[in-house]
Amino acid sequence: MDAADAVVDTDVLISSIPFNRMPAIAPLIRSTPPETVVIDTANYYPRRDGNIADIDEGIVESVWGAEQFNRPIAKAWNALTSQSFADNIAPAGTPGRIPIAADRQSDRAVAMQLVDETGFDAYDAGAIADSRIGFRGAAISPSI
């Protein structure tokens, strides 16, 4: 199966690629139906990705990603390191919750459910434009 076949009739597409590769796969992501939930798990790391001027100048990296794909996205799992998956699964309510951001409520709900199903406690971190807080390797627990 090639990548173009993988996105046909897909309800949820999870993208886990370096930021500098997003423009190359953007046409593929754009080919998915509008109702497909696209979840991005990546973070911008200039050492790996090279410098991306828009992000370096202050655009929220999740907003930049959504602009590359020209569609709404949800952000999930990007507050975790690979070691977190092995060591930090915990029941709901445990401190160290995982932030989920999305502009569409339906995307946020799907991402939160999937994070919960992987053994982590998700919380609603709001819109993509507000997603800078709590991401890039540091799960946080909001005051609720």
pTM: 0.83
User: Percent of the chain at pLDDT above 90?
Assistant: 56
Tokens of 69: 């794909």
pLDDT tens column, 53-86 = 999 999 999 999 999 999 999 999 888 776 766 6
d(CA 20, CA 81) in angstroms, rounded, equals 19
Residue 52 scores a pLDDT above 90: yes
CATH topology classification for 1-144: Rossmann fold (3.40.50)
